[in-house]
Structure 1
Amino acid sequence: PASRRSAGTRRGPLAAGLYEFLRFGVKQGWACLFGALMLGLLIATHFAYPAHAPLARYDFLFLAAVAIQAAMLAGGLETRDEAVVILAFHVVGTVMEIHKTAIGSWIYPEPSLFRIGGVPLFTGFMYAAVGSYLARVWRLFDFRFTRHPSLVALSLLSVAIYANFLLNDRFPDVRIGLIAAAALLFGRTTIRFKVWRVHRAMPLPLGLVLVSLFIWFAENIGTATGTWLYPGQRIAWSMVPLSKLASWALLMILSYTLVAWVNGIAGPDGEPIDDGAIVPSRAC
Structure 2
Amino acid sequence: MLLRRRPTGPTPADRGLTVVEERIDLWAHRRLAGPPRGRLRAGLVELTVFVLKQGWACLFGGLLLGAILAARLWYPDDAALARNDLLTLVAVALQVMMIATRLETPAELRVVLLFHLTGTVMELFKTDVGSWTYAADGVLRVGAVPLFSGFMYAAVGSYLVRVMRIFDLRFDRYPRQWVCATLAAAIYLNFFAHHFVADLRWVLLAAVAVVYGRCMMHFRVHTDVRRMPVLLAFTLVAGAIWVAENVGTLTGTWLYPDQADGWHLVSAHKLVAWFLLIQISVALVTWVHPPQRPLRSHPAGA
* Shared fold (TM-score, shorter chain, > 0.5): yes
Q: Which amino acid in structure 2 is aligned with residue 196 of structure 1?
A: H
Write out aligned runs for 1:1-284 (5 A). Answer: 6=32, 9-269=35-295
* Large movers: runs of 4+ above 3 Å: 4-8
Unaligned runs of 5+ in 1: 272-284
In the TM superposition, what is the alpha-carbon distance from 1:92 to its structure 2 partner?
Answer: 0.3
Question: Normalized against structure 2, the TM-score is what?
Answer: 0.86
Aligned residue in 1 for 2:15: none
Asked if the contact 1:148–1:186 (Cα under 8 Å) also holds between the matched residues in 2, the reply is yes
TM-score under structure 1 length normalisation = 0.92
Give the letter aligned to residue 207 of structure 2. A
Cα shift at 1:112? 1.3
Q: Determine the C-alpha separation between the residues in 1 that align with 2:183 and 2:273.
A: 14
What is the number of residues matched between the two proteins?
268
What are the superposed Cα offsets for residues 177-224 of structure 1, whole Å, 9 maximum, x if unpaired?
110110000000000000112310010100010000000000000000
- Contact 1:151–1:261 (CA under 8 A) maintained in structure 2: no
User: Which 5+ residue runs of structure 2 have no aligned equivalent?
Assistant: 1-29, 298-302
Do the aligned partners of 1:94 and 1:124 also contact (CA within 8 Å) in 2? yes
Q: 1:36-76 CA distances to partner (integer Å, 9 max, x unpaired)?
A: 00110111111111111111000000010001001111111
Shift of 1:173: 0.7
Matched residues in 2 for 1:215 and 1:197: separation? 28
Name the SS of the counterpart of 2:254 in structure 1.
coil
Contact 1:192 1:199 in 2 (8 A): yes
In the aligned structure 1, how far is the partner of 2:170 from the partner of 2:176? 14
